[in-house]
Structure 1
Amino acid sequence: MHGIALTPGSNLWFTILPKDTWLFGLRRPGIEPSTPCAPEPRLLHTEAKSGFEGSAGCVSRGCSTRWQRGEEVRDENSLKEKSKGKTRVGDSELLTMGDLQSHRKMFNLIKNTFPEIMVNSEEHDNVVDKAATWSQDIPADIYKIPAGKDVPAESITVWIDPLDATQEYTENLVKYVTTMVCVAVDGKPVIGVIHQPFTGFTAWAFVGVGSNMRPRSSYSVSPPKVIVSRSHSGKVKSFVHDAFGNSTTIVEAGGAGYKVLSLLEMPADTIDQADVYIHIRFIKKWDICAGAALLNHMGGHMTTLKGEDIDYSGTPINKGGLVVSVGVDHKAMLERLPNWDPEKH
């Protein structure tokens, strides 16, 4: 077996496919593939591929079925943009048809198949997608992933961000847009996937097992180049300059997934590079869990401004802000930060 087995009863388990795919498996009576497969343990997987083309399937001895879903986000030319409410500081939270269509596919596929598991998505919708179709396809690289361990199903929390950087999406700044899925066990990120639909690139990590990503060869700390949110950069700029000096270069960018990727070695020079990612306001866990898994696998860190680890279970809100780094002395970075309480700003 590969991945993390969930017991008792359903014996559900998770793992990652090396290219474009988040994979998870299931052994449970009554769940059968639509094509003949030998009676071995089967896999069920979802895939975020080339512009939100998703898949789900089952595998037995290499036999697989795959659910193909349309390119909901990339091809949703009619945005039908609206506000879904205000943030605690009064910013409008936008919702587009791209958000909803991506959510419907990602959430329904996982939740309908694995009702035992807690699935948290940024979006909320009552539409049930029953139009899934199946075909055979699974990369052979899955068999390179080592065996996992048994964990109870109730210890699993899945976090989904169907469309990160919605504001930028509405402005056609699509380089910032990602979709993300994260699997947390007992509140700790174990699997993370960050997909860029408009480039087709997918970053993934299975903590302690494998990843297609790695840190860059060098980082600057005197001063670091700091990446922050472009949507509310005013106060964070002052915060960063107080911490690292007025000569510090600040990169404004959209999307938490994009900002995490900016700290890593990317296959092409299509993304900003930064040394540290800082966020001084509240942030939702579906925005950051996948990135935390990638960083944890590489020995990096994603903590609150006070250096506390973030629990990826329970409430979706992280109230402590963020300091994100890899390849540098994270504790030394934290010690340079001014006092700041996100709950008071």
Structure 2
Amino acid sequence: MSPMGIRLSPLGIGVFCLLGLGVLYHVYSGFLTWRFSFLLGSRTGDTVDLRELLAVSVKAAELGGVEVKAVRESNKLNENSKGKTREGADEKLTRGDLLSNKKMANLITSSFPGVQVNTEEHLSEEDKEAVYWNRGIPNEIKEIVKNPKFVSSESITIWIDPLDATHEYTENLVNYVTTMVCVAVNGKPIIGVIHKPFTGYTAWAMVDGGSNAKTRASYNDKTPTIIVSRSHSGAVKDVTRRSFGNQTKILSAGGSGYKVLSLLDVTGNDQETADVYIHDTYIKKWDICAGNAILSALGGHMTNLKGEDIIYTGSDGNEGGLLASIGMDHDALVEKLSSKITSK
């Protein structure tokens, strides 16, 4: 008998060792689970921090922009058509679209695998790769959006436009080109990022959080400058003149992201300025969601032509046209247009 009066048999020693190993396994596996969750983003149960989603959205837009710029500068666009628009124009597709889409979509889906992601270009199984975000939140975001805000991952839909204004991109009109990410919560656009790859300018905003973008000091509500699409204008120019007068100044531009930025104070970034953005035909939600979020965060509005909010769930298209403004009486604009424009 041992000095303590207890003798362990070989079987007892084996059981004791196994129990010890089991405890160590659970402790270590728990640590690995925590570390994996840490790498994928802060969560409480199935929630996601919107501030982290904003940071990764900015990173994705900028990484996509690197691809877009590199392809354009290489002049190896591999341009082709992926079909026709409703107006009968070729819908362009380039290597820049595909490489940007691959980088942006993989970064977001790898970093936040529990959220739904809708992206303009198809991401095949061969295109998928693990591109993890280091969870770093830029100081600019932390200074403006000071506190985390958690929402259910099931309530989130992310819309990615890897290359807005592809038609202009093929013509080397790169000032119109943007990459965009939008985070919608229960169909409402909450986070928007618009990045201009060829100037390096990035506008971002979170509704009820803040923005690095600014509004202009004043807007012309008497004789507003209207910005419309240069390639999908429909009948909007005629309707605009009938609504606001024959002397109304109308700018034609490429890319919805560019047009939204024209309503803001982004002088010095190869950017025209306008007071109102109008579109009277069908438009995809990844084209407009980011701009909608930014305008909403700054007190502006983006609606269909009837003044109704655009819901960013379900189908990827918006049938009701588009009216965007900031610093203006949006309801008055809707009333002015409503009797004179027909949505297609």
TM range (shorter): 0.7 to 0.9
Q: Structure 1 residues 6 and 284 mapped into 2: Cα distance closer, same or farther (>3 Å)? A: farther
**Cα-to-partner distance string for 1:134-156 (whole Å, 9 max, x where unaligned):** 88976333433222433221110
In the aligned structure 1, how far is the partner of 2:164 from the partner of 2:68? 18
In the aligned structure 2, how far is the partner of 1:23 from the partner of 1:108? 15
**Cα-to-partner distance string for 1:161-217 (whole Å, 9 max, x where unaligned):** 000000000000000000000001011111100000000000000111111111111
**Cα-to-partner distance string for 1:228-257 (whole Å, 9 max, x where unaligned):** 000133621101001101000000000000
Q: Say whether the 8 Å CA contact 1:16–1:206 is kept in structure 2.
A: no
In the aligned structure 1, how far is the partner of 2:121 from the partner of 2:74? 16
The residue number in structure 1 matching 2:251 is: 251
Q: Say whether the 8 Å CA contact 1:182–1:191 is kept in structure 2.
A: yes
Q: Say whether the 8 Å CA contact 1:6–1:151 is kept in structure 2.
A: no
Q: Say whether the 8 Å CA contact 2:230–2:252 is kept in structure 1.
A: yes
Kindly provide the amino acid, as one letter, of the partner of residue 130 in structure 1.
E
Kindly provide the amino acid, as one letter, of the partner of residue 94 in structure 1.
K
In the alignment, structure 1 residue 46 sits paired with structure 2 residue 59: yes
Q: Say whether the 8 Å CA contact 2:60–2:104 is kept in structure 1.
A: no
**Cα-to-partner distance string for 1:92-115 (whole Å, 9 max, x where unaligned):** 111000000000011122123323
Return 238-247 or 267-276, whichever deviates more. 267-276
Kindly provide the amino acid, as one letter, of the partner of residue 51 in structure 2.
T
Q: Say whether the 8 Å CA contact 1:50–1:197 is kept in structure 2.
A: no
3-state SS of paired residue (2:302): strand
Q: Say whether the 8 Å CA contact 2:189–2:312 is kept in structure 1.
A: yes
In the alignment, structure 1 residue 272 sits paired with structure 2 residue 275: no
Kindly provide the amino acid, as one letter, of the partner of residue 161 in structure 1.
D
Kindly provide the amino acid, as one letter, of the partner of residue 79 in structure 2.
E
Report deviation, 1:306. 0.5
Unpaired runs of 5+ residues, structure 1, are 25-43, 54-68
3-state SS of paired residue (1:160): strand
In the aligned structure 2, how far is the partner of 1:78 from the partner of 1:218? 42
The residue number in structure 2 matching 1:28 is: none
Report deviation, 1:334. 1.0
Q: Say whether the 8 Å CA contact 1:52–1:74 is kept in structure 2.
A: no
- Equivalence map 1:102-117=2 (5 Å): 102-117=100-115
In the aligned structure 1, how far is the partner of 2:110 from the partner of 2:281? 34
In the aligned structure 1, how far is the partner of 2:279 from the partner of 2:102? 29
The residue number in structure 2 matching 1:11 is: 47
Q: Structure 1 residues 45 and 82 mapped into 2: Cα distance closer, same or farther (>3 Å)? A: closer
In the alignment, structure 1 residue 160 sits paired with structure 2 residue 160: yes
The residue number in structure 1 matching 2:342 is: 341
Equivalenced residues, count: 301
The residue number in structure 2 matching 1:141 is: 140
Q: Structure 1 residues 15 and 253 mapped into 2: Cα distance closer, same or farther (>3 Å)? A: same
The residue number in structure 2 matching 1:63 is: none
In the alignment, structure 1 residue 81 sits paired with structure 2 residue 79: yes
The residue number in structure 1 matching 2:322 is: 322
Report deviation, 1:77. 2.3
Q: Say whether the 8 Å CA contact 1:320–1:341 is kept in structure 2.
A: no
Q: Say whether the 8 Å CA contact 2:63–2:103 is kept in structure 1.
A: no
Matching residue within 55, 64, 75 for 1:23: 55
Q: Percent identity?
A: 54
Kindly provide the amino acid, as one letter, of the partner of residue 113 in structure 2.
P
In the alignment, structure 1 residue 331 sits paired with structure 2 residue 344: no
In the aligned structure 2, how far is the partner of 1:45 from the partner of 1:213? 13
In the aligned structure 1, how far is the partner of 2:175 from the partner of 2:135? 31
Q: Say whether the 8 Å CA contact 1:174–1:198 is kept in structure 2.
A: yes
In the aligned structure 2, how far is the partner of 1:325 from the partner of 1:134? 34
- Equivalence map 1:214-253=2 (5 Å): 214-233=214-233, 235-253=235-253
Return 263-272 or 128-137, whichever deviates more. 128-137
Q: TM-score, normalised by structure 2?
A: 0.80
Unpaired runs of 5+ residues, structure 2, are 1-40
The residue number in structure 2 matching 1:92 is: 90
- When Rg is computed on C-alpha atoms for both structures, the one with the higher figure is 2
Structure whose residues are more often helix by fraction: 2
Kindly provide the amino acid, as one letter, of the partner of residue 118 in structure 1.
Q
3-state SS of paired residue (2:288): helix
The residue number in structure 2 matching 1:293 is: 293
Structure 1 runs, 4 residues or longer, greater than 4 Å off: 5-8, 69-76, 131-138
Q: Structure 1 residues 137 and 207 mapped into 2: Cα distance closer, same or farther (>3 Å)? A: closer
Q: Structure 1 residues 218 and 105 mapped into 2: Cα distance closer, same or farther (>3 Å)? A: same
Kindly provide the amino acid, as one letter, of the partner of residue 249 in structure 1.
K
Q: TM-score, normalised by structure 1?
A: 0.80
Q: Say whether the 8 Å CA contact 2:55–2:137 is kept in structure 1.
A: no
Q: Structure 1 residues 133 and 290 mapped into 2: Cα distance closer, same or farther (>3 Å)? A: closer
3-state SS of paired residue (1:265): coil
